[in-house]
A and B are shown apart, each in its own frame.
Chain A
Amino acid sequence: MSLRSWLLLAPLLALMTFIIGWPLAKTVAVSFTDAKLLGGDVHWLGLANFQRVLAAPAFYEVVWTTIRFVLISVGAEFLLGLLAALLLDQKFHGRGIVRALMILPWALPTVVNATMWRLIYNPDFGAFNALFTQVGLIDAYRSWLGEPGSALYAICLADVWKNFPLVALIALAALQSVPRELRAAAVIDGAGPWSRFRAVILPYLIGPLTVAVVLRIIEAFKVFDIIWVMTRGGPANSTKTISILVYQQAFSFQQAGLGGSIALIMVLISALLIAGYVTILRKQGELK
């Protein structure tokens, strides 16, 4: 019985060892060397790569940019998602349509989303500039993605637009699992909107909402696609996140060893976040 269940699991475990386990182990090994992308002699460097990375002020700027991206995007997605879910939980005409529309940003491929916003932000003819000039909010066209002061925020808006529906749909499902009798009883007992939210709805909402937010943090932390397509980490490195840095070191500059060591530092941070996520899921009984 036990043997059979391991045999059934074997193809999956073998595949995972082959395409995740082995590359991960190899990344660890490479990060202690001066390996180049295109081969050549490889020398053992010990911790030199890590020392070099951790001593570079530029590395901390990249980490800070990543943290800002995560905080701004996920924070706004949480807020907007929660509000949209509370709204969609109300009765109104066309609720089914708006709920269906929430699928659109989620289903749009990440690269298409990035491209679409890049067109919208276009400095010469973009809709964003046209709209804000025509209503008088700005007096001249700007390069939203071309200025270090605004590029990260512009990317965050594009990311929030695509990902807040995920948070909203999860929160909405949680809201709709609140028993009707419980809500009705709270109304009869004379509870105001705020105490109804806190005492009746919040206990049902908090678990799924935490899962959604932690999931988004894990994803946002490894962000690459949307930034690569919109700015490639520029202007003046103002949107350069850790994934972009690894890409540049390992593939543009062909420093596989150095890139690997940065990737490894990133893995350690990710592992902490993932451990948090798995712990939450276990506590909620999602992983039995």
Chain B
Amino acid sequence: MERQNPWLSFFVHLCALLLALFLLTPILWMLIMSVSTTNDLTTIPLRWMPRHIDFHRYVELLTVAENSAGEAFLASMRNSLAVATMATLGALLVAIPGAWSVSRSPGRQRLALYAVVATYMLPPVALVVPLYFALAALGALNSVFSLAVVYLSILAPFTTWLLKSSFDNIPQEIELAAMIDGARLDQIWRRITLPLAGPALATGGLFAFLLAWDEFFYALLFTADQRAKTLPVAIADLAGGRVSDYGLIATAGVLAAVPPVLIGFFLQKSLIAGLTTGGVKG
């Protein structure tokens, strides 16, 4: 192996340090803001390190009291969890048979997949007005369930595409052998395909969950109060509203970021497949 030039090695380490700082500084600052006193955050020159660490905002946001910031925040977290879970399960329910079908049968089903892939990349503004009309007519605005159904328009195509490539990696011969032995399709699925695809299903589900957790546009338009507002909408309210405690806004941001960041680290190994499938919103 080629011996490293010490200057080159120094340069590489320096660049790596700069990159790490660039990645970490904004998040670190949000964390510091969340535990600094309001006084420390509103002085000039700014105090970078808080004089004492103050967790009261975490307590405030995580305890329920009548008409408090915590009540609204916890309600939105509950709504986000409910919407993301329902939408993810619904997406898997239609994506598993759909993806399997496309993976196993060449031909026109693939064209159907192209169509699905292409349509889900369309801007949401192209669908939002009719969806609003329909939900209003059905009296279904401001509902966690309706929002989950709308989210299927993003999650179902995405999950189908991701699962299709996972099914492609499961040798068809195993399924054929079982079929020759007289197994029915539901038996093949339960005993062979789904167990083999287990990790891929989990990954697909987590990616779908992240997409739903992140969604803002539909949530902003289709929800109105604590019964359905999701975390992104609640945080945007805080950031754009009357709240003058910057630390409280930072704390809400930190809390909303914890689940997706944990999932992100967990997904590290399978990230590339999800990223190229378009597992991010602009």
Contacting pair A108 B129 (CB below 8 A): no
Q: A4-B185, A24-B126, A24-B127 are in contact. Are A225 and B216 (CB under 8 A)?
A: yes
Contacts of A125 in B (CB 8 A): 41-44, 46, 246
Contacts of A21 in B (CB 8 A): 119
Q: A20-B153, A92-B16, A109-B257 are in contact. Are A247 and B24 (CB under 8 A)?
A: no
A95 at the interface (CB under 8 A from B): yes
A163's closest neighbor in chain B, by CB? B280
Contacts of B152 in A (CB 8 A): 15, 19
Contacts of B265 in A (CB 8 A): 100, 103, 107
Contacting pair A16 B157 (CB below 8 A): yes
Contacts of A266 in B (CB 8 A): 123, 125-126
| 15 A-B pairs (CB sep. < 8 Å) | A5-B109, A8-B97, A12-B94, A16-B119, A27-B126, A27-B129, A104-B23, A187-B2, A216-B282, A225-B281, A229-B236, A242-B125, A256-B129, A263-B123, A271-B122
B132 at the interface (CB under 8 A from A): yes
Q: A16-B156, A108-B257, A267-B123 are in contact. Are A8 and B98 (CB under 8 A)?
A: yes
Tell me which of A87, A108, A110 contacts B27 (CB under 8 A): A108
A22's closest neighbor in chain B, by CB? B130
Contacting pair A212 B16 (CB below 8 A): no
Main secondary structure of the interface of A (DSSP, over half): helix
B55 at the interface (CB under 8 A from A): no
Q: A101-B23, A110-B232, A274-B118 are in contact. Are A260 and B160 (CB under 8 A)?
A: no
Query: Can you list, as one digit per residue, whether each of B211-233 has a CB less than 8 Å from chain A (1) or not (0)?
Result: 00110110011000000000110
Nearest-neighbour CB distance to chain B for A153, whole angstroms, equals: 16
Query: Contacting chain A: which of B62-70, B195-203, B270-278?
Result: B270-278
Query: Can you list, as one digit per residue, whether each of A193-237 has a CB less than 8 Å from chain B (1) or not (0)?
Result: 000000000000000100110011011111111101100100000
B131 at the interface (CB under 8 A from A): yes
Q: A4-B185, A109-B213, A119-B33 are in contact. Are A19 and B150 (CB under 8 A)?
A: yes
Query: Which of B113, B126, B150, B268 has the most A CB atoms < 10 Å from its CB?
Result: B126
B117 at the interface (CB under 8 A from A): yes
Query: Contacting chain B: which of A44-52, A57-65, A166-174?
Result: A166-174
Query: Can you list, as one digit per residue, whether each of A63-92 has a CB less than 8 Å from chain B (1) or not (0)?
Result: 000000000000000000000100100111
Contacts of B46 in A (CB 8 A): 125, 127, 130, 134
Contacting pair B257 A92 (CB below 8 A): no
Contacting pair A98 B16 (CB below 8 A): yes
Tell me which of A9, A26, A104, A225 contacts B112 (CB under 8 A): A9
Contacting pair A2 B125 (CB below 8 A): no
B220's closest neighbor in chain A, by CB? A228
B101 at the interface (CB under 8 A from A): yes
Query: Which of A5, A87, A141, A170 has the most B CB atoms < 10 Å from its CB?
Result: A5
Nearest-neighbour CB distance to chain A for B265, whole angstroms, equals: 6
A116 at the interface (CB under 8 A from B): yes
A56 at the interface (CB under 8 A from B): no
Nearest-neighbour CB distance to chain A for B152, whole angstroms, equals: 6
